Structures are given as structure tokens and as C-alpha cells.
């Protein structure tokens, strides 16, 4: 007798092929027995499609030496070729147990990528492998292609990690040709070929969540280390002219300080090339015969800096300015730049002394509406 699901005798219809594929009881019982075992006694079940009866058939003539599970996946995989009598003509499905193959692959991936993914189903240890010779009949190829999803759907997709097609018989002869990677693991497979720099960037992106957890976070206020508060108060009183700050170990630390009057270009040498920094600077200069000393807050964030550094500094800049304001230091101008070379007189003057442009007023010209002209007077 034939059934189309493991436990319910419902017909499985495939309208594209206008056929009904039935699954025999011996196949149902065989797979059910193996699926209930933590480690199955057989490595695979061979299933073919019978044209005449339009049903699946389990090959029960295979010896135990061919189908039995051994600790060597490569040897068991090589046994698949023994089930093909005519490589240029035959087609076949294999319900192949790959639990040990997946465990080894994922162990190597975890070691090379430091990934500890644990959301994979422990039951998905079976692979539906199908061999279809390109020289087989068109009908065979269409039958196998159209019936591909019936076995997993029938026995439960939770048992199957995917399907894998082979069209070259040599791939059945050498396990090294077997390159199956589940969809859930393909991102890890790609990581194996990443450069160290690419892995570092990916790890930094993951660490962003430790700083910003929601899209509406306005900033992170880190405590001020020893000496920072005093330096900001002194700069507020114009006792010193420059304070450079850095974020380190979740606190704001003093990176540099200067009591001497500096030109903006002198600040460039005090800033690292590839690391972000915060700068409070008293720009002492003369303009139109008057001495001026506005306070600038400059956030320098090089594009070559690490992703997590850019994120930490960008979420810290606003709280830092608020902390400075509480100490009496309110910047007259705030600037952000990705290149320390931008810190110059030209840039600061652009903010301190913007060029006033005369606005030219134009008389509004009355525009006639389309189709409208001089009114005609009817005679």
C-alpha cells in the first residue's frame, strides 16, 4: 500500500507535472525508524521515482556494508557511487544523514570566525541529495525536479537541512567535491575567506550594539577623568588655550593641554592621524582691528578610524558639550571634520566671521497665464 504522508494516507498532487507521487510504507517506516535515533544505524536511504506507478521506491537491495553508518563520513559518502548502475542514465534521491559532517564543519567555522551561533535545529541532520545525469531523459529530469520537495514536505522539513544536486558522477566518487553548506551557515563560510581587516570591521560593527541600543539614543555621557574638569574650567576662564580629550575605558581623559596661544594650524600636530579626538580651543586673533577670542569645540573623526571608535565618539560629543556647559564652558562654535588638516584659520574664520552677502531684490514680473492675451472687444 502507498501513502503520501508518514502517517496520513492523503494524495500528494503536483499540478505542474499532472502526476500524483505516492510514498510506500516501507520507505515511511525506514525513515521514521532512522529519524528517531540520535545517531542512525544507516548513513543513507536510496529512493528512486518509478515512471509507471508514479511513486517513490526505496532500494532495499543494498547491503549493510554500503548503507551502514561509520565514523568516516568520506568513506560512507563514497559508497553512494556504488548504488548507481549507469551513471549516464540513472537518476536517484538520497536521504543522507550529515549530522557528523555538519558538526565538524561548524566546529571549524566557530574556530576560524569566533562564532558561537546556537540557534540551529539539532534535528536538521538529514540532507536530500539528488543525482541527475545530464544525459538522462528529459522526462526523468523533469520528474525528479518536480518531485524534489515531496520527501521533505512529507517526512517533515524540520528533519532536513536542505537539498543538494549533483550532475557530475565524479562528485559522488570524491568527498572533497562535496561542498554543501546550509543556508544558515553560509555567512560563516564566507568569513573563512575574509581578511583580518574585514573580520575586525565586522567585529566592530557587532560591538556597536553595546554603545547604542536604540535608534533614538541621543548620546552616552562618560565620566570625566582626573584633571579634565579643572582643565575645562581653566579654558573657560581663558587661562589656557587648548584642551584635547579622548575616550578611553569608558571615561573622558585628558590627551593634551596648552597654556600658550596657538595658531589653528599648530593644533594639527597635536591630533593623531587615525584616531578621533575632542578639542576645546580659544581662537585668539584680531579681526577688523578688534581682539577676539571665541571658543571652538572641534570634533575630529578620521574616516580611517575604527567603526566602534567613530560610534563611541559620535554618541559622546553632545553629552560632553553639556558637561562642559555645566562647568561654565560654552563653545561659541562647534565643528566636525574627518581630517585634522581642516583645522585652520580659513575654516575657523568661516564660522567666526561669515561673509555677508548682499541680497538682490528682483521686481516680481507678472506672468500671463497660458492662453490669455489682450482682451478683444467685439464690434
When mean pLDDT is compared across 45-59, 194-208, 258-272, the lowest value belongs to 194-208
Reported as a pLDDT band with limits 50, 70 and 90, residue 379 is very low
| 128 strand-pairing partners | 95, 163
> What average pLDDT score do residues 220-234 get?
93
199 — pLDDT class (breaks 50, 70, 90)? low
* Residue 245 banded pLDDT, cuts 50, 70, 90: very high
Asked whether the predicted pLDDT for residue 22 surpasses 80, the reply is: yes
Q: Using an 8 Å Cβ cutoff, are 294 and 267 in contact?
A: no
Q: Which strands make up the sheet holding 242-248, listed edge to edge?
A: 251-258, 242-248, 277-282, 295-300, 333-337
Q: What is the model's pLDDT at position 38?
A: 86
Choice between 277 and 178, residue whose per-residue pLDDT is larger = 277
What is the C-alpha to C-alpha distance for residues 183 and 176, in angstroms, rounded to an integer? 20
Residue 98, classed as helix, strand or coil, is coil
Average pLDDT over residues 71-81: 91
Range of weakest confidence among 3-12, 78-87, 245-254, 352-361? 3-12
State the pLDDT at residue 42.
93
pLDDT value for 21 = 77
Candidates 263, 260, 245; CA nearest to 313 is 245
What would the mean pLDDT of 87-95 be, rounded to a whole number?
91
**pLDDT number for residue 103:** 86
- Find the mean pLDDT for residues 12-16: 36
116 or 275, which is more confident: 275
Per-residue confidence band for 181, with pLDDT thresholds at 50, 70 and 90? confident
Give the model's pLDDT for residue 191: 53
SS3 state of residue 140? helix
Cα separation, 262 vs 235, in Å, equals 13
Sign of CA dihedral 124, 126, 132, 133: positive
Q: Is residue 256 a contact partner of residue 241, using CB atoms and an 8 Å limit?
A: no
The percentage of residues in the chain with a pLDDT greater than 70, rounded to a whole number, is: 74
Is 59 in contact with 83 (CB distance < 8 Å)? Answer: yes
State the pLDDT at residue 140: 86
Residue 49 has pLDDT above 70, yes or no: yes
Helix (H, G, I), strand (E, B) or coil at 259: coil
The three-class DSSP label of residue 133 is: coil
- What does residue 59 show for φ and ψ, rounded to 5 degrees? -80, 105
Cβ(330)–Cβ(294) below 8 Å: no
pLDDT computed for residue 209 by the predictor: 43
Q: Is the pLDDT of residue 132 over 60?
A: yes
pLDDT for 141 equals 86
Q: Indicate whether 185 pLDDT > 80.
A: no
Highest mean pLDDT among 18-32, 188-202, 257-271, 352-366: 257-271
According to DSSP, the residues that pair with 23 across neighbouring strands are 3
Stretch (H or E) spanning 291: strand 290-292
Q: What span, in angstroms and rounded, lies between the C-alpha atoms of 277 and 338?
A: 10
- DSSP per residue, 146-210: HTTTHHHHHH-GGGEEEEEEE--THHHH-GGG-----GGGHHHHHHTT--HHHHHHHHHHHHGGG
Amino acid at each position: 500500500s502507498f501513502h503520501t504522508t508518514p502517517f496520513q494516507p492523503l494524495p500528494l498532487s503536483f499540478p505542474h507535472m499532472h502526476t500524483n507521487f505516492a510514498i510506500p510504507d516501507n520507505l515511511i517506516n525506514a525513515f521514521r525508524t532512522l529519524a528517531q535515533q540520535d545517531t542512525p544505524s544507516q548513513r543513507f536511504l536510496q529512493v528512486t521515482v518509478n515512471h509507471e506507478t508514479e511513486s517513490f521506491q526505496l532500494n532495499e537491495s543494498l547491503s549493510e556494508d554500503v548503507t551502514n553508518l561509520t565514523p568516516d563520513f568520506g568513506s560512507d559518502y563514497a559508497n553512494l557511487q556504488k548504488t548507481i548502475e549507469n551513471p549516464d542514465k540513472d537518476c536517484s534521491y538520497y536521504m543522507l544523514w550529515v549530522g557528523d559532517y555538519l558538526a565538524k564543519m561548524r566546529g571549524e567555522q566557530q574556530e576560524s570566525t569566533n562564532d558561537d551561533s546556537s540557534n540551529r535545529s539539532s534535528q536538521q541532520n538529514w540532507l536530500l541529495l539528488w543525482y541527475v545525469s545530464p544525459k538522462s531523459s528529459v522526462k526523468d529530469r523533469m520528474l525528479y525536479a518536480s518531485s524534489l520537495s515531496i520527501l521533505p514536505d512529507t517526512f517533515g522539513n524540520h528533519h532536513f537541512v536542505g537539498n543538494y544536486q549533483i550532475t557530475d558522477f565524479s562528485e559522488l566518487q570524491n568527498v572533497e567535491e562535496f561542498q554543501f553548506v546550509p543556508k544558515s551557515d553560509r555567512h560563516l563560510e564566507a568569513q573563512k575567506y575574509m581578511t583580518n581587516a574585514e573580520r575586525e570591521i565586522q567585529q566592530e560593527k557587532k560591538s556597536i550594539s553595546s554603545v547604542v541600543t536604540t535608534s533614538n539614543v541621543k548620546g552616552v555621557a562618560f565620566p570625566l577623568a582626573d584633571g579634565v574638569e579643572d582643565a575645562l574650567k581653566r579654558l573657560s576662564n581663558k587661562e589656557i588655550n587648548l584642551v584635547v580629550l579622548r575616550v578611553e575605558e569608558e571615561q573622558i581623559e585628558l590627551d593634551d593641554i596648552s597654556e600658550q596661544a596657538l595658531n589653528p594650524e599648530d593644533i594639527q600636530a597635536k591630533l593623531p592621524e587615525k584616531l578621533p579626538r575632542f578639542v576645546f580651543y580659544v581662537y585668539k586673533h584680531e579681526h577688523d582691528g578688534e581682539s577676539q577670542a571665541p571658543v571652538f569645540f572641534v570634533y575630529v573623526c578620521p574616516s580611517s578610524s575604527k567603526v566602534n571608535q567613530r560610534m563611541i565618539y559620535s554618541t559622546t560629543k553632545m553629552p560632553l558639550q553639556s558637561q562642559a556647559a555645566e562647568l561654565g564652558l560654552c563653545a561659541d562654535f562647534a565643528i566636525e571634520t574627518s581630517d585634522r588638516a581642516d583645522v585652520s584659520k580659513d575654516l575657523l574664520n568661516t564660522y567666526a566671521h561669515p561673509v555677508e552677502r548682499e541680497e538682490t531684490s528682483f521686481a516680481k514680473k507678472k506672468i500671463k497665464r497660458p492662453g490669455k492675451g489682450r482682451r478683444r472687444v467685439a464690434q
